[in-house]
């Protein structure tokens, strides 16, 4: 190209200046660009973890299993969906101009509400988080008014434990999400208070006190600290209810994902193996094998003694060197 500026080199020769490294070099140097994919603040649904590289198959299975469980609880929803499908097939036989005119008339009568509710057209919708082995499944707002995400997940995972279905080959944990807020301690405490007040009434009758625990997990987030957040969440629970870390009746589940935090109050958290669908679909022998596969091998007593001796020897050498320097 002749329009490039020409610069002198040390040897006196001239060469064209192309502005430094090319696009390929820049991409290789800076790596993959960051994205703003995250969980919307007004969303309710589920954080779904899976095998790395199998996120797509995982959320598809999860959406199908959630829909099956939801329709088993509300069979009228399944009947309405079947009627809508048959009506759509009948409408396909009409002329395209007639269909367009009917849709325009319907939009005018509703005042544009149909266009505003277009984002809630599906009961469960996948939201990309741009994280490895983690996606978000958003639950339709109208569906959350009939059953909460925590209750629906409890029904589905209980069926997996007791009946062996539904299952998913690549799905691991299914974490309910009822509140989403900014990932700061004061914001999380403020968002968690309504959920805790509903789940733990202060004026409960004697003998109906509940045991609870606070569980905090973090993904791609370093702003929230467990030591700062957990005590403040626990202080929101009124006095009649007691802390139980072994097997509590209710668990206040807080998940930090990128710049947001999700909150939910779930039941039977440890009884359902921390809401791990894969482990719930296995027997005890398969669970032990799966845990052994995922956990690093335990060190023997002799290996620990050897490591201790090596550490003691290094400390002695450092002490001798410090003494020599002082001398």
pLDDT one-digit tens code per residue, 35-66: 568 999 989 999 999 999 999 999 999 999 99
**Residue 78 pLDDT level (bands cut at 50, 70, 90):** confident
Please give the Cα distance from 127 to 134 (Å, whole number): 10
**Best CA proximity match to 210, nearest among 238, 187, 236:** 238
Predicted local distance difference test score (pLDDT) of residue 135: 95
Predicted local distance difference test score (pLDDT) of residue 72: 92
More confident call, 218 vs 308: 218
Q: Which residues of 218-246 are buried (b: 16+ CB within 10 A; e: fewer)?
A: beeeeebeeeebbeebeebbeeebeeeee
**Residue 276 pLDDT level (bands cut at 50, 70, 90):** very high
Lowest mean pLDDT among 54-68, 96-110, 222-236, 287-301: 96-110
**Residue 292 pLDDT level (bands cut at 50, 70, 90):** confident
C-alpha 141: how far from chain center: 18
**Residue 114 pLDDT level (bands cut at 50, 70, 90):** very low
Which phi-psi region, left, alpha or beta, contains residue 22 (left: φ > 0; alpha: ψ -120 to 50)?
A: beta
Is the bond into 166 cis (omega within 30 degrees of 0)?
yes
Predicted local distance difference test score (pLDDT) of residue 98: 72
Q: What is the DSSP string of 96-125?
A: HHHHHHHHHHHHHHHTTHHHHGGGG-SSEE
More confident call, 314 vs 174: 174
Predicted local distance difference test score (pLDDT) of residue 204: 84
Q: Are 46 and 177 spatial neighbours (Cβ–Cβ below 8 Å)?
A: yes
More confident call, 28 vs 254: 254
Predicted local distance difference test score (pLDDT) of residue 293: 82
Predicted local distance difference test score (pLDDT) of residue 119: 32
Predicted local distance difference test score (pLDDT) of residue 29: 47
269-287-303 Cα angle (round to 5): 105
**Best CA proximity match to 48, nearest among 278, 294, 216, 233:** 278
End-to-end CA distance of the chain: 70
Q: What pLDDT, in 10s, does the model give residues 135-162? A: 999 999 999 999 999 999 999 999 999 9
Give percent above pLDDT 90 in the chain: 54
Q: What pLDDT, in 10s, does the model give residues 245-272? A: 989 999 999 999 999 999 999 999 999 9
Q: What pLDDT, in 10s, does the model give residues 172-217? A: 999 999 999 999 999 999 999 999 999 999 888 888 899 999 999 9
Q: Residue count of the chain, please give it.
A: 327
Lowest mean pLDDT among 17-26, 108-117, 204-213, 222-231: 108-117
Predicted local distance difference test score (pLDDT) of residue 112: 43
């Amino acid at each position: 190209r002749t329009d490039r500026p020409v610069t002198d080199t040390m040897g006196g020769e001239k060469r064209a200046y192309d502005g430094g490294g090319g696009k390929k070099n820049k991409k290789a140097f800076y790596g993959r660009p960051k994205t703003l994919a995250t969980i919307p603040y007004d969303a309710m649904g589920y954080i779904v973890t899976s095998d790395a590289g199998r996120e797509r198959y995982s959320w598809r299975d999860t959406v199908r299993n959630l829909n099956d469980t939801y329709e088993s609880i509300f069979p009228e929803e399944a009947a309405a969906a079947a009627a809508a499908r048959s009506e759509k097939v009948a409408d396909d036989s009409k002329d395209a101009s007639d269909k367009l005119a009917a849709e325009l008339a319907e939009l005018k009568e509703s005042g544009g509400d149909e266009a505003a509710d277009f984002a809630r057209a599906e009961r469960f919708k996948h939201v990309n988080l741009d994280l490895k082995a983690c996606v978000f499944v958003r639950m339709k707002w109208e569906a959350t008014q009939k059953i909460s995400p925590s209750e629906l997940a409890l029904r589905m995972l209980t069926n997996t434990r007791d009946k062996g279905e539904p299952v998913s080959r690549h799905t691991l944990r299914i974490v309910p999400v009822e509140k989403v807020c900014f990932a700061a301690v004061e914001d999380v405490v403020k968002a968690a208070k309504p959920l805790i007040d509903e789940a733990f009434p202060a004026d409960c009758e004697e003998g109906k006190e509940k045991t609870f625990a606070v569980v905090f997990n973090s993904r791609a987030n370093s702003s929230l600290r467990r030591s700062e957040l957990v005590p403040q969440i626990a202080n929101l629970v009124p006095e009649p209810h007691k802390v139980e870390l072994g097997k509590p009746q209710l668990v206040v589940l807080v998940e930090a994902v990128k710049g947001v935090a999700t909150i939910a109050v779930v039941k039977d958290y440890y009884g359902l193996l921390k809401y791990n669908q894969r482990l719930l679909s296995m027997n005890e022998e398969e669970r032990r094998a799966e845990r052994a596969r995922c956990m690093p091998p335990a060190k023997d007593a002799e290996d620990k003694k050897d490591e201790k001796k090596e550490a003691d020897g290094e400390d002695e050498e450092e002490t001798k060197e410090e003494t020599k320097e002082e001398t």
